[in-house]
Amino acid sequence: MVESRKPISIAQAVNKVMEYKLAGQVEWVSLEESQHRFLAQDITATHDVPHFNRSPYDGFALRSKDTIEASVHGPLKFEVVEELAAGMVSTVPVQQNQAVRIMTGAQMPAGCDAVIMLELTKELDIDGRKYISFKRSLKEGENVSFQGEDARLGDILVKKGAYINPGIIGLLATFGYAEVPVAVKPVIGLFATGSELLDANEPLQPGKIRNSNSPAISAQIRRAGGEVRYYGKLKDEFETTYTAISKALEEVDLLITTGGVSVGDFDLLPDVYQKLGADVLFNKVAMRPGSVTTVAVYQNKFLFGLSGNPSACYVGFELFARPIIRTMLFSEQPHLRKETAQLAKDVLKPNPFTRLLRTQLYYESSQLKVTPSGVDKSNITTSLAGANSLTVLPGGTRNFRSGDTVDILLLEDQQGSKCPW
Ligand SMILES: Nc1nc2c(c(=O)[nH]1)N[C@H]1C(S)=C(S)[C@@H](COP(=O)(O)OP(=O)(O)OC[C@H]3O[C@@H](n4cnc5c(N)ncnc54)[C@H](O)[C@@H]3O)O[C@H]1N2
Ligand code: MOO
Ligand SMILES: [Mg+2]
């Protein structure tokens, strides 16, 4: 008699997994290496930016109160007493009706409170001395970039858990973070199970298929921010499978297997969990694909038994393993980002279990739209290539029509969501 499994909802399954979430750790890496990593601490401004008043233009710094009389009919003439390139500081005090030639980025000379752009002046040479004339007055503070206008000392600029993008790299450099505190990448062990599996470099043989799950899941692990420890393929033999899994568990926090979790004669993972004495959190989720996804905990380590079917394996990872990885990367929004979009095609099917359609999300005018990225079956690989989102069609519904608003989960997004379920 085949064991009967009781399906639980996705929300219940996600909650069960998140109860056991693991803590993250901090390491320091060079600024360059920090790209695509996740911040392990809030980044605060270590000084004002800019930290001195400076000129945003090439022109002449002067005292605005001296310019009040300037007009088209009565241009004023000021003597130029110094020239400042960016990086230089003034040495000559500026007196009434004097100006300092100043370049973009140079610190404002003491006493000056405005800058007139080069284009608005005429330069004169009188008896070997330099002068400018100009025809308009300036207000106090005009064309000055003030200390602290970009950031103030102590401001929190980027929160812990943020994905480090090029803009953040620039910010870190601005504030002198030559070394950056980032989350240690969780190491995720991975096995593919199945005696039918060939590697990508092997020619096809009758009855055998190439192992696509390991490379795909490895890429998903890296996309989520983890590091892959690939242990290779396992034939469907109990002793070798049990030994390999128990040994690998000593080396990683999270171990993913693909295949062998259903009720077939060679689906050995349920027996492996039993022999280990692992606590099986669930072995059936009311979702399609991925209904056989099984998660177990053993000595504070996770065993993710993902389905062998490629689409089911892909979805199972994103829903249950990704949030654990992102939590270890200090994210407060570790789940896939949830949004709504308009369905662009009819999906005329009953959904006894919640269906997670692999979809292509795109913009049309100002509307977000989704369309299935291929055939909606658990054993299909081709629909995964074009999928940048999962469209959630809740269990107990049927027949969605083009134009219906649906919930979507974004696969390529770094923002995430607190809990979409
Ligand atoms: N009697 C029942 N049969 C099945 C049930 C069920 O409830 N009762 N569930 C079906 C569902 S749903 C799924 S999903 C699959 C899950 O099977 P397993 O997780 O046990 O995976 P396998 O049987 O090992 O493989 C399934 C399928 O995927 C192919 N596969 C496996 N590994 C890979 C890989 N690394 N790369 C590419 N393809 C892989 C494998 O050859 C099989 O075709 O069970 C249903 N059956
Ligand atoms: O778990 Mo299966 O993926 O529902 O098709
Ligand atoms: Mg099976």
What is the enclosing helix (H) or strand (E) of 218?
helix 213-224
Write down the CATH superfamily of domain 337-410. Answer: MoeA, C-terminal, domain IV (2.40.340.10)
Rounded CA gap, 236 and 217, in Å?
20
What is the enclosing helix (H) or strand (E) of 328?
helix 322-328
Q: What is the CATH number that goes with domain 10-25+185-328?
A: 3.40.980.10
Residues ≥6 apart with Cβ < 8 Å to 250: none
> For a substitution probing ligand 1, which of 190, 211, 292 has the most ligand atoms within 8 Å of its CB?
292
Domains 10-25+185-328 and 59-134 share a fold: no
**Gap from CA of 241 to ligand 3 centroid (Å):** 15
**Gap from CA of 365 to ligand 3 centroid (Å):** 44
**Gap from CA of 217 to ligand 3 centroid (Å):** 18
User: Is this model's pTM higher than 0.80 or not?
Assistant: yes
Residues in the chain predicted with pLDDT less than 70, given as ranges, are 1-2
**Gap from CA of 402 to ligand 1 centroid (Å):** 31
Q: Provide the β-strand partners of residue 342.
A: 369, 405
CA 214 to ligand 1: nearest atom: 35
Nearest to 252 by CA among 229, 283, 221: 229
* Per-residue model confidence (pLDDT) at position 1: 60
Protein residues with CB under 6 Å of any ligand 1 atom: 192, 194, 196-197, 209, 211-214, 258-264, 267, 289, 291-292, 307-310, 312, 378-379
Ligand 2 touching residue 316 (CB < 6 A): no
* Per-residue model confidence (pLDDT) at position 380: 86
> For a substitution probing ligand 2, which of 8, 263, 292 has the most ligand atoms within 8 Å of its CB?
292
Query: Alpha-carbon Rg of the chain, whole angstroms?
Result: 31
Predicted confidence (pLDDT) per residue in 27-65, tens digit: 999 999 999 999 999 999 999 999 999 999 999 999 999
**Fold type of domain 29-49+156-183:** Molybdopterin biosynthesis moea protein, domain 2 (3.90.105)
CA dihedral of residues 378, 384, 388, 391 (deg, nearest 10)? -20
The answer to whether the beta carbons of residues 50 and 141 sit under 8 Å apart is no
ipTM for the predicted complex: 0.98
Domains of the chain by residue range: 10-25+185-328, 29-49+156-183, 59-134, 337-410
Q: Identify the residue whose C-alpha is closest to ligand 1 atom 26.
A: 308
> For a substitution probing ligand 2, which of 283, 285, 378 has the most ligand atoms within 8 Å of its CB?
378
Q: Of how many residues is the chain composed?
A: 421
Residue 209, both tokens: 């298929």
What is the CATH architecture assignment of 59-134?
Beta Complex (2.170)
